[in-house]
Each structure stands twice: as structure tokens, then as C-alpha cells.
A and B are shown apart, each in its own frame.
Chain A
Amino acid sequence: EIVMTQSPATLSVSPGERATLSCRASQSVSSNLAWYQQKPGQAPRLLIYGASTRATGIPARFSGSGSGTEFTLTISSLQSEDFAVYYCQQYNNWWTFGQGTKVEIK
């Protein structure tokens, strides 16, 4: 099983600042990586697939990068609605998720 490790567990950021979230795979997943946003009491929402392609309707302030084992989700200027938990998911070999990074207001 490919293990996905996200860091940090919690990220404290002020509105308007940049947030950088990391996701590491235990073995190469090529670019077969997706990112999701989950707000309290809601289902996850797809943000990014193919490591860097924004899903339909996702604002341009969200960007993804990386390949192989190291991936990054960047939120360029945090808006109030962006405070949430973010998960990465690999789909190179079965389907596994990271444990999540909580982005909270500083």
C-alpha cells in the first residue's frame, strides 16, 4: 500500500497570506495525485487532479505542483472560505489518502 504523509498537521495562516501544504508518497505515484478540501460537516470537494490541474470552478489561487513522491498545494492568498482541512490522494496504485492538513486562522 502506498502511504501518503501530509505536513504539517495544522497550518496557522492569516487571511491574505500564502499557505503551502505538503504531501509525500511512500513510493512514486508519478503525477497521479489529487487534492481535496473538506469543511466541517461537509463532504470533500475536488480541487486538483493530475497533481496540477484545477478542477472545474476552482479559483486560480489554488495551485498544485510536484511529481513522483513530493507534492505541494499552494493557496496564494487565503480567503475566509479557504480555512478547512485538505487531503491528498494518490491513484497510481489503488487509492489512498493522506491524513490531512488543517488550515486554521492565525
Chain B
Amino acid sequence: QLQLQESGPGLVKPSETLSLTCTVSGGSISSSSYYWGWIRQPPGKGLEWIGSIYYSGSTYYNPSLKSRVTISVDTSKNQFSLKLSSVTAADTAVYYCARHITIFGVVHWFDPWGQGTLVTVSS
């Protein structure tokens, strides 16, 4: 079945750029039926959608993060990536990647999710 796995540094310094990659296995990232998304969860808090990307490169970004977020896709590696610039302690969170279900071009819910990776912003 489809699996997603996040990877990247677990510690990032303030003002630097957080970079994570999600590797998709058991299915193609180039499917026309899905976007691919990033969601984060600060410790002990709720979930926040960060952004989503289609295999063609079309993106949606959370307006509250848009100025700092870049999501890209590499179909040859079946991966998509997140970059979040100018990070602060408030960006400390578990970062999840997930398949973003798309039906007739409309993007809906997330399923399945990767296991998540904790990124701590600290000097």
C-alpha cells in the first residue's frame, strides 16, 4: 500500500531554512488524482496545513506561511520537498507529509500520512 516517509534535519538554527523531503513508495507521485501536502503540529498542539503540490508543479500555500514556503516535486525520485525560510522557535513542530485527495480537480482530505518528523528550531 502507499507509504510516505519524511526525512531531513531534526535541528535547524533560527533564521535558517528548514528543508524536508517526503518519499512516496507503493504508488506514483505522478497520479492525476492526488496533490501531495505538508502539515505540521507544534508539540502538544493542533494541526496546520502548510501547502500542497501537484506532480505538474502546481501549488497551494497557506496564506499565513506563503512568504516563507516553497514546495517542489521530483517525479523521477517520487519525492516532494518542503523549504521553510527564516525559521523561529514557533516553527518547531512535527512535520507530516500526506497524500491530498483530489476528485475532479478539487482537493479534499489527507490520506494516508507519513509518520512525521520532529524539527526543532534552536541555536
Question: What residues of chain A have their CB less than 8 Å away from a CB belonging to chain B?
Answer: 1, 32, 34, 36, 42-46, 49, 55, 87, 89, 91, 94-100
Contact = CB atoms under 8 A, between A and B. Distances in A.
B109 A100 contact: no
Residue of A43, A55, A98 with most partner-chain B CB within 10 A: A43
Given A34-B109, A49-B108, A91-B109, A43 B114 contact: yes
12 contacts: A34-B108, A34-B110, A43-B96, A43-B115, A43-B116, A46-B109, A49-B108, A49-B111, A89-B110, A96-B49, A99-B45, A100-B47
B121 to A, nearest CB: 21
Interface of B: 37, 45-49, 52, 60, 62-63, 96, 98, 101, 107-116
A49 B100 CA distance: 12
Given A32-B108, A34-B109, A46-B109, A87 B114 contact: no
* Chief secondary structure at chain B's binding surface: strand
Contact of A46 (B48, B62, B111): B111
